[in-house]
Amino acid sequence: MSEYAIPKGWYARGSHPGEYWMGVDPSVSDAAGSSATLKAKVSEASGFGTLMQTIQADEYWGKRIRLSANVKGSDIEGWAGLWMRVDAGGRSPQFDNMEDRAVKGTTEWSRHEVVLDVP
């Protein structure tokens, strides 16, 4: 398997991003179109990988924001999920990585979301 193209405005990050193929996989899509993918390159990853982007939250101050996506899993060992963090003043007062409602094993396309308040 070769490297995928990472979507414009997104970045490969995590504690061990080099252990994962990340980017757009044109061979996998849901009804909304092509999808981003994250697949382990190694049989036992020693950390996590993530596709992420950052935005300025100025226009969202005092509001509730939602990140939602259709997610499909194939042989997920451990867990996977969406994540969002709101940083303010050098701290991260709002964070959700779906660990308490993780995607595990093999799943068909399903809608997931993370909702946070921006202080």
What is the C-alpha separation between 107 and 90, in angstroms, rounded? 37
- Residue-level pLDDT at 82: 96
Instruction: Determine the Cα–Cα distance for residues 75 and 107; give it in Å rounded to an integer.
Output: 9
Give the Cβ contact number of residue 76 at 10 Å.
15
Per-residue pLDDT tens digits for 6-63: 988 999 999 999 999 999 887 777 766 778 889 999 988 899 999 999 999 889 999 9
Counting residues of the chain whose pLDDT is more than 70, the rounded percentage is 96
- In this prediction the pTM is 0.83
Under the banding of pLDDT at 50, 70 and 90, the label for residue 4 is confident
